């Protein structure tokens, strides 16, 4: 998308920038491919007011993945709500780049930690989050009738280093 520059990583060859309303059709496509339509257009549109990042191909500007998080100033914590990468682009470090940019953004907002929950059967996601420094702090099942469980994971954020004279 012209108008919003994306920070391009040399390692992953993707840019990271804030999501725009024009990105929502592609985001919904990625959502359907990775999660099976759990969130709808209106949930994503409302999330544009939160920390909503997209990974884009720096040549074509095509959205390859996204991350949605919210910030709770009271608890000084960011909460990751969604992370998804188009299946054709998984395994290329795109989710890692999205998470790294989120950590930078949350530190800029003076938050102390970030949390998320992940389905215990999602081994790939669990490995990624552990590699990024998340630790399991709790296991829970939202519905006693269902046979599903989730890990609540948290990561402490390093404070932003102040420059001399600040």
- Output the 3-class SS for the chain: CCCCCCEECCCCCCEEEECCHHHHHHHHHHHHHHHCCCCCHHHHHHHCCCEEEEEECCCCCCEEEEEEEEEECCCCEEEEEEEEECHHHCCCCHHHHHHHHHHHHHHHCCCCEEEEEEECCCHHHHHHHHHCCCEEEEEECCCCCCCCCEEEEEEECCCCCCCCCC
pLDDT for residue 21: 96
User: Is the confidence at residue 101, as pLDDT, over 90?
Assistant: yes
Report percent pLDDT > 70 for the chain.
87
CB atoms within 10 A of CB 3: 7
Res. 124 pLDDT band, cuts 50 70 90:
confident
Residue with tokens 């990105």: 23
Residue 100 lies in a domain: yes
Tokens of 12: 């992953």
Residue 28 lies in a domain: yes
User: Is the confidence at residue 164, as pLDDT, over 70?
Assistant: no
User: Is the confidence at residue 67, as pLDDT, over 50?
Assistant: yes
Residue 134 lies in a domain: no
Least-confidence region, from 36-45, 73-82, 135-144 = 135-144
Q: What is the domain-level CATH number for residue 112?
A: 3.40.630.30
Res. 3 pLDDT band, cuts 50 70 90:
very low
Residue 166 lies in a domain: no
Q: Which of 88, 64, 81 is nearest to 9 (CA)?
A: 64
How many domains does the chain fold into? Answer: 1
Q: Which domain holds residue 96?
A: 7-116
Least-confidence region, from 7-21, 60-74, 110-124, 144-158 = 7-21
Higher pLDDT, 145 or 17: 17
pLDDT for residue 145: 66
Least-confidence region, from 56-60, 109-113, 120-124 = 120-124
Alpha-carbon span 103 to 89, nearest angstrom: 22
Res. 2 pLDDT band, cuts 50 70 90:
very low
Mean pLDDT of 151-163: 82
Residue 37 lies in a domain: yes
């Amino acid at each position: 998308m012209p108008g919003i520059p994306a920070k391009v990583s040399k390692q992953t060859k993707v840019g990271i920038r804030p999501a725009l309303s024009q990105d929502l059709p592609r985001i919904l496509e990625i959502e359907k491919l990775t999660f099976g339509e759990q969130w709808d257009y209106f949930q994503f549109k409302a999330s544009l007011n939160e920390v909503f990042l997209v990974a884009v191909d720096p040549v074509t500007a095509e959205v390859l993945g996204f991350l949605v998080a919210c910030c709770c100033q009271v608890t000084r914590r960011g909460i990751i709500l969604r992370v998804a990468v188009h299946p054709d682009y998984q395994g290329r470090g795109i989710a890692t780049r999205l998470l790294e940019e989120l950590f930078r953004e949350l530190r800029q907002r003076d938050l102390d930690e970030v949390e998320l929950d992940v389905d215990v059967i999602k081994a790939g996601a669990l490995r990624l989050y552990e590699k990024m420094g998340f630790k399991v702090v709790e296991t829970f099942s939202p519905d006693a009738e269902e046979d599903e469980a989730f890990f609540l994971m948290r990561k402490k954020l390093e404070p932003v280093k102040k420059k001399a004279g600040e």
